[in-house]
Amino acid sequence: MVGLSVSTGPLAGVKVIELAGIGPSPFACMLLADMGADVLRLERGNPDAEKVVSADTLNRSRPSVAVNLKSDAGRELVLRLSEQADVLIEGFRPGVAERLGVGPTDVHARNARLVYGRMTGFGQTGPLAQRAGHDINYIAVAGTLWPLGRAGERPAPPMNLVGDFGGGSLYLVVGILAALWHARESGEGQVIDAAMVDGAASLASMLYSFRNMGFWRDERGVNLLDTGAPFYDVYETSDGGFMAVGAIEGPFYALLLEGLGLSGEDLPRQMDREGWPHLRSRFTEVFATKTRDEWTAIFEGVDACVTPVLSPSEAPTHPYNAQRHVFSTGDAPVPNPAPRFSNTPSMVTAPAYTPGSGTREGLSAWGLSAEEIATLQAAGAFA
């Protein structure tokens, strides 16, 4: 693809300004753009840069517009664009947007209906609001990192999936969509304070339910879903591969034992916690007798909740992923848009391009003339 195409996604017609950041806010904007929103990514860049495809998937489906927010012309450009926007998203530390003159008060003075989305780790208020941090710090404070890991071992960070993208991006998008609905019904915009700590804590709601009901102990690796249960764990195969086992319900567990050739063996009852070490030992021994592909074939089409553990390089070619086009095809596959819509499909309208290379294209699509763009450049709006 060499340019942006018109989208027919469910958010077609929604106009979004993205004040570029890293991680969770670009991912949120990617989701909105894939679903059809008209997103302008405003960032430091060169408006005369050659349009070269970038491998940064998070910046796809929208043009990169060079903006110098520290210039009066750049600041005024953002405020002018906000007059026709439905949403503005920023991921600065609290107070930065206000100092730049593009905070909620500044923007709402131009467009009271606008939804202003703010993405931070520790939120806009509170004792940690100005502290630096990353995903690992946010989920640590949220109480979501502590339970992750095996018995007797330190907590295991789940990359940056839980804080940045789960507790951050997805909650920001949900908040924006809810606020958009409210704005269209009432004419009233509002500010979305999406903090990764808040979202990561919310993601752990079921864990707190289990604790409050007495089903969960505050120990790592001893509970039903944290590798404590031998029928909910990962096992190594003879070729160094791994199989994921999630046979919680009785019928699924019975099929697991049958596939392993253990259905006739005198074993502890499934939910007998004292017998879990013996079950784990037997499962470990048996899984180690065959390759991953052999076990995959044995459990193919069987509701035992047993699947191969695929690497990122293997996943795109798995039959499920290939048939449903979960990933794009090519030398460097990336995940395709999700979820799926029956009448207004999401789509990747363009890859990411060099920062600033979509300046004229993007601003023209939002109604600025070539003369106005030239005047802005002369005034230092893009430098």
Q: Which residues are known to be catalytic?
A: 134, 164
Phi, psi of 82 (to 5 degrees): -65, -20
Closest CA to 344 of 39, 88, 6: 6
Do residues 111 and 85 make contact, with C-beta atoms less than 8 angstroms apart? yes
Strand partners, 66: 43
The helices-and-strands tally (H runs, E runs) of the chain is: 14, 11
Torsion of CA 309, 311, 317, 319, to 10 degrees: 10
Q: How far is CA 216 from the centre of its chain?
A: 27
Q: What angle do CA 214, 215, 219 make, to 5 degrees?
A: 95
DSSP H or E segment with residue 378: helix 370-378
Which residues lie below 8 Å from residue 357, measured CB to CB, with a gap of 6+? Answer: 45, 46, 47, 49, 50, 51, 52, 63, 64
Residue 198 Ramachandran class (φ > 0 left, ψ -120 to 50 alpha, else beta): alpha
Give the tokens for residue 155: 């907590």
Residue with tokens 């640590």: 140
